[in-house]
Amino acid sequence: MSTLYLHIPFCKRICTYCDFYKVGAVELLPRVVEAMHEELEARRNYLSDRRLSSIYFGGGTPSLLAPEQVEHFIAHARQLFDCSEVGEITLEANPDDLTAEYVARLRDTSINRLSLGIQSFDDRVLRFMNRRHSALEAVEAVERLRRAGYDNLSIDVIFGVGGFGDDHLRESLERAITLDVEHISAYHLTVEERTRLGLMVRKGEYTPVGEECSEREYALVEEMLGGAGYEHYEVSNYAKRGRRAQHNSAYWAGVEYLGIGAGAHSFSGDDRTWCISTAKEYAQRDFRFESEQLSTTDHLNEYVMTSLRRIEGIDLRHIEERFGAAQRSRVVASAKSWIEGGVLRLEGESLAIPTSQFMLSDAVIEALFV
């Protein structure tokens, strides 16, 4: 099985912390959409397995698409691929795009899951992040989707935001839990150099939180979401039973995916390809790509990284079968001190990071890389 990703790289307003490829020139959207259909047609043979298990509209801001444009993409995918087993079709959405009229029209599409970039239920934090919506609009968007019958909702929450204390996070998590959404992605705010937040740090207008605050807030997220019945199944993701994100889970499991749009990435098993055209070039059908062939070492490192980010962890049998006994021994030897320190757990053939230690996952992953 494979997955399809459609990238809508437009944002009406740029968030303080955002380092993704996106542009504000929303007037290009209609031409970019037409060009995306052309790219989809042209690259239909990129996937060796043409059966799709999920479709994901990401961005940027995919909710800038009219629902009819969303459905047109899905219909086009159905013409080109075997979609008989597609389970999840997700649209990322900004809460303020989800008006009553938009949601009513969306109900006529095949979208069955929405991922809302809420980030916080505190208006002060939302203003600091330069988000377009208010806390009230976020709550209303979720309630509106529920009334319309959507039963698979995900929201993003950011922690580790300096200058607001821990209470805003506690209240945001309480709100998220009360809304009883099926899935929550919780990310630590990171400062990327080429963002407004990076500039604020350089000018002394923002001080990133220290390690102690990061750990405390991480523990708070873990305690509150765990206590509310969410399974912490990946470093940044929590889900109610049976509600893990299928599309992202497929990505972490190393399945093939085709990414369409300016800035989108694709993976065919051995090759990784990404579109380097700007939105303007893309609108003019100037599709340019870069790609790399993955070596055996790349595959092993990728397996280590995606596995250790999930609660299932590394399957040592898989390492031995695919990469050889020497690599299995190397991984076990590199893991020894982390196991002794309680940061890794070895149970049978499974080597995993306990959720309480997920904050250290980057360091562990690097230590286990070839």
Our CB check for ligand SF4 shows the closer of 162 and 269 to be 162
CA distances from 157 to 9, 170, 338, 366 (A): 21, 11, 29, 26
Angle at which helices 296-308 and 361-368 pack, to 10 degrees?
150
- Count other C-beta atoms under 10 Å from residue 179's C-beta: 18
Residue with Cβ nearer ligand SF4 (91 or 316): 91
CB of 281 to ligand SF4, least distance (A): 19
Indicate the residue type of 328: R
Residue 199, judged by CB atoms within 10 A of its CB (0-12, 13-18, 19+), counts as middle
Burial string for 226-247 (b: 16+ CB within 10 Å, else e) reads eebebbbbbbbbbbbeebbbbb
- Give the count of beta carbons closer than 10 Å to the beta carbon of residue 202: 11
DSSP state of 31: H
Q: What is the chain's length? A: 370
Whether residue 119 contacts residue 157, with contact meaning beta carbons closer than 8 Å, is answered with yes
Nearer to ligand SF4, 35 or 126 (CB): 126
CB of 206 to ligand SF4, least distance (A): 17
Distance CA 116, CA 86 (A): 21
* Closest to ligand SF4 by CB, 15 or 224: 15
> Least CB distance from residue 128 to ligand SF4, whole Å?
13
Beta strands in 75-152 (DSSP E): 88-93, 113-119
User: E-assigned strands of the chain?
Assistant: 2-8, 52-59, 88-93, 113-119, 153-159, 183-188, 231-234, 237-239, 256-260, 265-267, 271-275, 289-293, 314-315, 345-347, 350-352
Q: How far is the CB of 14 from ligand SF4 (least distance, A)?
A: 5
Q: 67 or 263, CB closer to ligand SF4?
A: 263
For the CB of residue 277, give the shortest distance to ligand SF4 in the complex, in Å.
18
Residues within the interface to ligand SF4 (CB under 6 A): 11, 14-15, 18, 20, 22, 59-61, 117
Q: Which is nearer to ligand SF4, 11 or 344 (CB)?
A: 11
Q: CA of 299: how far to CAs of 175, 257, 360, 364, in Å?
A: 40, 16, 22, 17
CB atoms inside a 10 Å sphere around CB 118: 29
Closest to ligand SF4 by CB, 261 vs 313, is 261
Closest to ligand SF4 by CB, 9 or 313: 9
Query: CB 156 → ligand SF4: shortest distance, Å?
Result: 9
Residue whose C-beta lies closest to ligand SF4: 18
Q: Min. distance of Cβ 141 from ligand SF4 in angstroms?
A: 14
Closest CA to 87 of 184, 183, 1, 180: 1
> Closest approach of Cβ 13 to ligand SF4, in Å?
7
CB of 216 to ligand SF4, least distance (A): 25
> Measured from the CB of residue 151, what is the shortest distance to ligand SF4 in angstroms?
24
Residue with token string 């060796």:
48
By C-beta, is 2 or 154 nearer to ligand SF4? Answer: 154
Between 20 and 102, whose beta carbon lies closer to ligand SF4? Answer: 20
